[in-house]
Each structure stands twice: as C-alpha cells, then as structure tokens.
A and B are shown apart, each in its own frame.
Chain A
C-alpha cells in the first residue's frame, strides 16, 4: 500500500519533471504579476525613497494644481508599474535541459541564465500572503557562484515547487554520493546516527521570545539610521514649519522656559526611541512568527514568517561558520543570536546577509549544544581567549584619530582661531571606544578549529573549522614589524575575519594550522 503510494507519487514527480524537460518553455502563473508589482513597490521603499521624496515636494509646492499633478504622477507611475510587471511576467520563461535550469527574464535588459544543478546551493520556498489563497509559492534557486546566478521562480504551484526541490536535491545527493561515501565511512559512528531520517525538533519560539529578539538585536540602530535619513529629507520641505507649530502648541501647555525646552527634547527622544524599539519588535515578530527549527536528513530546516511564510533548509555540511552574537541589550536578557553562515557571494564589506540563517534569541545551553553538534571534538568555547596587543589602542589613537584631528585643526586654524583646537579632543574621546574594542577582541585555536571574538558594547563570537578556510593573509605595517605584530585576515567562503594586532608568532601558527588542515583533510567542505 505504502509502496503503491510511493510509486504513484514518483510517477507524478517524473511526469512533472518530464514536462519541465520538454522543449517548450514554461511560464509562471499569471498571478506572478502581483509578485512583480510588490517587488517594484518594495524596491522603491528600500532603495528609491530618496528619489521619490523630491517628487512629493514638487506636489506639495505646486499650489492649486497639486491634486491634478499628484494624480498624474500616480497614474503614470501606476501604469508604468503595471506594464512593467506584465512584461516581466511575459518575458519570464523557464525549462530544464539536461541537468540545468534555463531561465530567460528581463524587460529592458534581457537575461539568459543557465544554472546547472551542481551549482545550486540551496532551494528555498517562500509563500507570500498574496500567493497563499492561490496555492502558489516562490522557489528560489541559490547558487554558489555570484548573485547574478540566482533565480526566483515566483508563482508556481506548491506541488510543482516541492517536486523541483526534491528532484534537484536528489540529483545532487546522487552525484555527491561517491564523494560522501568515503567521509561517511571515515567517521562512521557520528554520521550513521545522523543519517537516520528522523526529524528532531530543536526550537520553537513563542511571541515573547521573538519580542526579546526585536528588543535586543541591533535593528533599532539600523532603523534609527533609516529614520534619520527620512527625517532629514522630510525636514527640508515641511519639517521646520511642523516643528514650529508643535512647539507653539506644547509651549502653550508647559511654558517656554529653558527647563521646559530640555524636558521637551528629552520627551521627544524617549518617544522616538520607543517608536523605534516598537518597530524593531514588530519587525522581528512579523519576520519570525511561529519560528520553528528542526534537524533531519543532515539538514537544518526552518519555517517562519507571518505574512510571508518561509521554508529554508541548510545542509549541515555546508555551514561555513557559526556566529554567536550578543548585543548589549541581549546581555541583560541573557540571550544570544546565532547565525549559520553559508557559502555566499560576499559583498565588499565581507558580509553576506542573504545566505545567513539566523536562529534568534537562544540561551547558552542551546548554542553550546549546537556548537557541539556542528564542530565535534572542539572545546574552544571553554578555553580563555588570547587578547590582542595594547598597541592596537595607541596606534589608532595616535595615527588614525590623532593625525586626522590635527589635520582638521590646522585647516580650521585660520578661519576659526582658538575654536579650531576643539577637534584635538577627538583622540581623548575615542580612547575609551578603542579600549573597549581592544577588550572585546579575542582569539583561540586548536588543531582543527578557530574562534574569533570582536565587538564594541556587545560582542560576537565566530567559530569555524579550519577546513572551511579559503585563503589567509598576514599584514604588517612598519610599526607592527618593529614589534613582531601582525593583522591576520582569514577568508571563509562568504565571510572574512580579521584579527588585528596579534603577535606574529600566533599569526604564523594560525596560518600553519589552517593550511595543514585544509591540505591534509580531504573531507568535503561545501
């Protein structure tokens, strides 16, 4: 009975795959137009708000015609958006040929993508609110190469998405079997236990825990930054008048003395802070609603999201490093936020947000157990970390901050006179910051793993196996050469770690240990 059922499902699988494999190009569901409209709108909100604001200024200052102008702008914008979304839908075609996806897309800039199954790192499903009644999902094919090699099949039936996912992952596991067989037999006991297909629940977050995450992640600061940008734009057009009006109203109530002005400013600051924290908490709850983490089939699976239900999984083997971070607020709440970092196309600052798999708000025992599971035979979380050299502080106080503030002072000396001495205070102010930064840096290694800690008020700890190292760099400034110090830069797939001002001896030891592990341990790393 079960077999029959299996066969039946295998047959429909094959049928669906055969259809994808046929010569005719497949299209998304017409509902994909919705996806493109939403994408366009969110794109504007994320990147283009600055560009839209001057338009609103035009509208605001255009007197009697303002409603007509506003309507025209909205009509033209809306029409462009709908035509663009329609064309995006019409131009998007896909099919499977051999072991590759062929995808054609783009309106003004046509794109033809050939994405072979073995370059696909992960297949993720997400279900936005507007697709839910139609039973459609977005299937994202994440690649190991560059960002331009990623593809979204937005608006395909859930059943088809599942079949594609199964097909690609099965193909991958078949072709990798030869490679993996060796490593499985090498560390028999642990892997065999994991190979059993039982799914084990690791974590399920109630809303209170998500609220804690919203409170304690650093998103409040990010939001504050965005708010500052928006307000600075806003201020130019209406802000001053608005503030003056309000000031009059409040002044009427509490009086206009110096004290009441200070009180007003404090009050405003508290309100803004509360709003930002509220937004961060709301964001955390919306994104992570019903957070559920399981482990099975050697993968971590996660489902989350209120409006957009997201299902992602990361194969354990592909995790390049584990980041355990504890921002300052999380410290008071006794929580840690974990990030499983995957192979990804790193942006310039070395971060790689998209491929990060965040496990929010966990306690110490959870991350210790996870570290144990991910990196067996390492006791790095228990060893005291080495600190970096004190010269880190003196160097940055004297050269980075010092030289700049002296230069500013000198250039301002002519026009400002004595007031030009003010920038010279900068090194004094930066000193405690640098002391704190130095204090947060820490590093330790054993034969097979490394751990690096950094931070300012909070801290984050990255644990990684040396086998995941891609390349290493040792950098020495003239001053560092004099004192046998060096900066060590470790490049992992998708993330770069830098430990500044460590002893050259340690840098060379790390280099030696990491290279030896990479070159002698032939277990698969991606």
Chain B
C-alpha cells in the first residue's frame, strides 16, 4: 500500500465505526419532506377526482355515488392512502442523508432496505445538477454523480437546497480535479451537458 502518514480521512479511519448507521449523515432539506408530501397529496386528490368523475358519469347523480357500497370501500381505501401519504414522506425524508468527507462522499437511503453508497471524489467523471418544475418551486435540486463506464448515475442525491447543491457540485468537481491532477477527469460527453444551476 502507498504511504498513509500524510493521508487523513476522518470518520473512516476511526475504528469504532460499527455500522454505516453510525456515520454522521446530514439530513436533506426539510423542504424535501414538504415536496414529497405535496406530491403524495396531488396523487391522492387526482385519484379521488378521477374516481368521482367516472362514477358520476356511470350513475348520473352524486347521491347515488355517495350512498353506494363501493363508496364505503373507496372511503376505506382513501383513508389508508391518506395515512400512507402522511407518514411515508416523513419516513423517506428521515431515511435519506449524505456525508461529505475529505476524500469521499456517502449517501444513505431506504426505509426497509438500508443502503449506503460510497463514492471517492477521484472517481467522479462528471456531476449533473437537475431541478424539475416541482423541485424548482420548492427551491430544491437533485445532484447526480457519474463514474466511468456506468450507464446511469452512480449516486443521486435529491432534496438539496439550490445553494447547497451547487456548492457541493463545485466542491466535488474541484476535489476530483485536484486529486486527480494529470488523471483524465474528462469533460462531460457532448449532448449530456450538466444543467446549470
């Protein structure tokens, strides 16, 4: 192995590291929780509206729809959906987190299956910053990190405030370039230019 005397990389070098769960992951923006909640709400409301309209067309009167047996089942289903819609965003938000270290980046996710992905900066080929219309409304962005040879992003961190996301992007690119000086940290492929913040 090469000399490690000058090499520091806190957290990892500490031997009391028992499980990925003990890393100090930073939470995603609370706005991400709101975004998930609103998205869930939109889905639930559209399901109700579409259902209602279809039933109205079929039976012809609102009263008939409301008093039918199907409405009871639909009501139960609705309650369940709302309950899941209320709890899931929180669970999802809590399960995700990232940690930047001197030499690598870690991202944790998963409510049932816990996953921790680790990515050394030196292997990052390019970083994309993406922000869809809903994300833009909440002033959030998703960071995508690509390494060589993979078709899709190796790591995708959603729910980052704009400022934080672009700061992380510049930091990672700078680290990737600085560490890999002389290494071909190549330009993004033509046609897949990263979206600018």
Contact = CB atoms under 8 A, between A and B. Distances in A.
A473 B109 CA distance: 11
B104 interface: yes
Interface string A494-526: 100000000010001001100111111110111
Contact of B147 (A448, A471, A511): A471
A122 to B, nearest CB: 13
A474 B20 contact: yes
A461 interface: no
Contacts of A430: none
A475 interface: yes
A511 B118 contact: yes
B120 A447 contact: no
A182 B170 CA distance: 28
A168 interface: no
Contacts, number: 124
A120 B148 CA distance: 13
Contact of A519 (B110, B115, B117, B122): B122
A47 interface: no
B123 interface: yes
Q: Is the interface of A mostly helix, strand, loop or mixed?
A: mixed
A352 interface: yes
A470 B1 contact: no
Interface in B182-196: 182-184, 186, 189-190
Given A179-B182, A519-B103, A524-B183, A471 B123 contact: yes
Contacts of B154: 470-471, 491
A128 B190 CA distance: 32
Nearest to B117: A473
Nearest to A523: B2
A476 B147 CA distance: 24
A469 B4 CA distance: 19
B112 to A, nearest CB: 6
A448 B1 contact: yes
Nearest to A475: B115
B151 A471 contact: no
Contacts of A522: 2, 122, 179-180, 183
Interface string A117-155: 011000000000000000000000000111001000000
Interface stretch (A36-44, A278-286, A342-350): A342-350
A429 to B, nearest CB: 27
A136 to B, nearest CB: 30
A513 to B, nearest CB: 9
A477 B112 CA distance: 6
A493 B147 contact: yes
Given A179-B183, A471-B118, A521-B1, A515 B151 contact: no
Nearest to A447: B1
A261 interface: no
Given A475-B113, A515-B12, A522-B122, 12 more contacts: A179-B183, A345-B151, A471-B117, A471-B147, A475-B110, A481-B114, A491-B147, A492-B149, A511-B118, A512-B12, A519-B7, A520-B1
11 contacts: A118-B184, A144-B149, A343-B149, A348-B151, A470-B149, A471-B123, A473-B116, A473-B118, A512-B17, A515-B103, A522-B183
Interface of B: 1-4, 7, 9, 12, 17, 19-20, 103-104, 110, 112-120, 122-123, 147-151, 154-155, 179-180, 182-184, 186, 189-190
